[in-house]
């Protein structure tokens, strides 16, 4: 594994608020997570030079300016702030902002916070009538809720690669088992393939237990320069080695939320990598690592079928090989490359601005050897990937 480079930053603290449906203000969840991360790092919030908030658009004006909201809730300290919205990649954008500040020498210590309080049921478009908003239109013109897109991806996988309902169920069974010992997970219960098959059909072929819930929750990280970590006696911290937020390349030949159609590839050759694969590839290039160097992966399992797509997107197997990889046991704890040892969204549900941050929390605990009950043996490197609306996505590689 490469030695530390001049773009590494240290993860000194990680903290979360348990996922669930608590019915409280999102700021409370973020504060719990932030204070836990600060305590983990041994840092006073007044020593934080930069606070990066991941925005929640469903919680009013404070959610739109989350950096300032969390800064005020912690106690105004004069820190610089930013607020980021990138749908499901919001947390990664906030991490990217904090990283840039540290690498530019503008601060030594940054706090990244994301939290959400979600509606009951599946996500709906934000209120109001916006006839030029593609996200609003896909709900109102097509009735294309998020689970419909998940089902389209699942059907595509079945048609192209022969995935079965049993394969999808096996992903849920695996992740539910992983999440049993995660104190921050919302769902901590073993699930059988029979349970999945017996759950209600939401959008054929996906059943209720194939699709992640919407949840309240929060996550936070304390990020520092490597020099600051050394000065504070942390000589071998978990470090962020790479962070990719690349956008798609024209033409896009696979439909992504909230698009209605793909780009035409009649006159232009498709890019060498589809969007999700490109996000991961850029992170590998920056880190000087490859899929074979990974100890674990946290992937964005909005549905069981989508997790299988991610196996291929991040290079764990060849295209069409995800089902065989899953069936081999390689992606289960104790296997060659455990995927979603946290339990993933299957056990957490979506708390949108906190999700990418929570993934890095899990990487941090795994790389420190602190993931009790779900520890990946001798974890040295991990990747966290997710995808949001409008060409947003992220891949973060952390190493020890």
Edge-to-edge, what's the strand order for the sheet holding 216-224?
A: 80-84, 50-54, 109-116, 216-224, 9-20, 238-244, 393-399, 381-387, 296-298
* pLDDT the model gives residue 130: 87
Where is 110: in which H helix or E strand? strand 109-116
Q: Residue 307: pLDDT band by 50, 70, 90 thresholds?
A: very high
9 contacts: CB under 8 Å, gap ≥ 6: 99, 102, 103, 223, 224, 225, 226, 239, 240
- Name which of 112-126, 239-253, 326-340 the model is least confident about: 112-126
pTM, rounded to two decimals? 0.96
Burial, 263: exposed, middle or buried (Cβ in 10 Å; 0-12, 13-18, 19+)?
Answer: middle
> Given this model, what pLDDT does residue 111 score?
98
Each residue's pLDDT tens digit, 181-232: 999 999 999 999 999 999 999 999 999 999 999 999 999 999 999 999 999 9
Structure tokens at 34: 């932030």
Q: How confident is the model at residue 121 (pLDDT cuts 50, 70, 90)?
A: confident
Give the pLDDT of residue 3. 61
Mean pLDDT of 313-318: 98
Which of residues 141 and 309 earns the better pLDDT score?
309
Confidence of residue 6 (pLDDT cuts 50, 70, 90): confident
Q: What is the dihedral of CA 250, 254, 260, 262, to 10 degrees?
A: 40
For helices 355-368 and 90-103, angle between their N-to-C axes, nearest 10 degrees: 60
**Residue 130 three-state SS:** coil
Question: Is the pLDDT assigned to residue 2 strictly greater than 70?
Answer: no
CATH numbers and ranges of domains, the chain: 9-121+217-236 (3.40.47.10), 134-204+239-399 (3.40.47.10)
Least confident of 16-25, 151-160, 249-258, 345-354: 249-258
Average model confidence (pLDDT) across the chain: 96
Confidence of residue 265 (pLDDT cuts 50, 70, 90): confident
DSSP 126: P
Q: Give the lowest-confidence range in 5-9, 103-107, 114-118, 307-311.
A: 5-9
C-alpha span between 92 and 68 (Å, rounded): 18
Indicate if the pLDDT at residue 244 is higher than 80: yes
Q: Is the pLDDT reported for residue 336 higher than 80?
A: yes
- Per-residue pLDDT band for 162 (boundaries 50, 70, 90) equals very high
Q: Is the peptide bond before 258 cis (omega within 30 degrees of 0)?
A: yes
What mean pLDDT is predicted for residues 120-135?
85
Higher pLDDT, 125 or 78: 78
CA 185 to chain centre: 14
What's the average model confidence in pLDDT over 137-143? 90
Q: What is the pLDDT of residues 355-386, one digit of tens each?
A: 999 999 999 999 999 999 999 999 999 999 99
């Amino acid at each position: 594994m490469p030695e530390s480079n001049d773009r590494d930053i240290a993860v000194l603290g990680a903290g979360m608020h348990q996922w669930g449906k608590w019915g409280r203000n999102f700021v409370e969840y973020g504060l719990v997570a932030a204070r836990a991360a600060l305590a983990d790092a041994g840092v006073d919030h007044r020593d934080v030079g930069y606070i990066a908030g991941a925005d929640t658009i469903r919680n009013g004006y404070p959610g739109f300016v989350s950096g300032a909201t969390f800064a005020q809730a912690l106690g105004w300290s004069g820190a610089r702030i930013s607020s980021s919205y990138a749908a499901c990649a919001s947390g990664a954008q906030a991490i990217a902002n904090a990283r840039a500040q540290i690498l530019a020498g503008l601060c030594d210590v940054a706090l990244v916070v994301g939290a959400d309080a979600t509606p009951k049921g599946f996500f709906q478009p934000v209120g109001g009538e916006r006839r030029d908003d593609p996200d609003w239109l896909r709900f109102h013109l097509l009735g294309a809720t998020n689970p419909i897109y998940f089902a389209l991806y699942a059907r595509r996988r079945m048609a192209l690669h022969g995935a079965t309902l049993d394969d999808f169920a096996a992903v849920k069974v695996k992740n539910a088992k992983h999440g049993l010992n995660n104190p921050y997970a919302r769902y901590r219960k073993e699930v059988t393939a029979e349970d999945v098959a017996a759950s209600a059909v939401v959008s054929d072929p996906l059943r209720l237990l194939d699709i992640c819930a919407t949840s309240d929750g929060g996550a936070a990280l304390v990020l520092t320069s490597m020099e600051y970590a050394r000065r504070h006696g942390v000589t071998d911290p978990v470090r962020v080695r790479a962070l990719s937020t690349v956008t798609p390349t024209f033409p896009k030949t696979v439909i992504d939320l909230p698009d209605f159609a793909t780009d035409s590839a009649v006159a232009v050759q498709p890019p060498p990598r589809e969007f999700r694969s490109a996000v991961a590839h850029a992170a590998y290039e920056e880190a000087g690592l490859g899929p074979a160097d990974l100890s674990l992966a946290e992937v964005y399992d909005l549905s069981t079928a989508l997790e299988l797509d991610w196996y291929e997107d991040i290079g764990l197997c060849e295209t069409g090989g995800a089902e065989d990889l899953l069936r081999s046991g390689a992606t289960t704890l104790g296997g060659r490359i455990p995927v979603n040892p946290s339990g993933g969204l299957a056990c957490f549900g979506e708390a949108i601005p906190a999700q990418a941050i929570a993934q890095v929390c899990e990487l941090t605990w795994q790389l420190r050897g602190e993931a009790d009950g779900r520890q990946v043996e001798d974890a040295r490197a991990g990747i966290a990937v997710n995808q949001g609306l409008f060409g947003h996505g992220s891949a973060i590689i952390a190493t020890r």
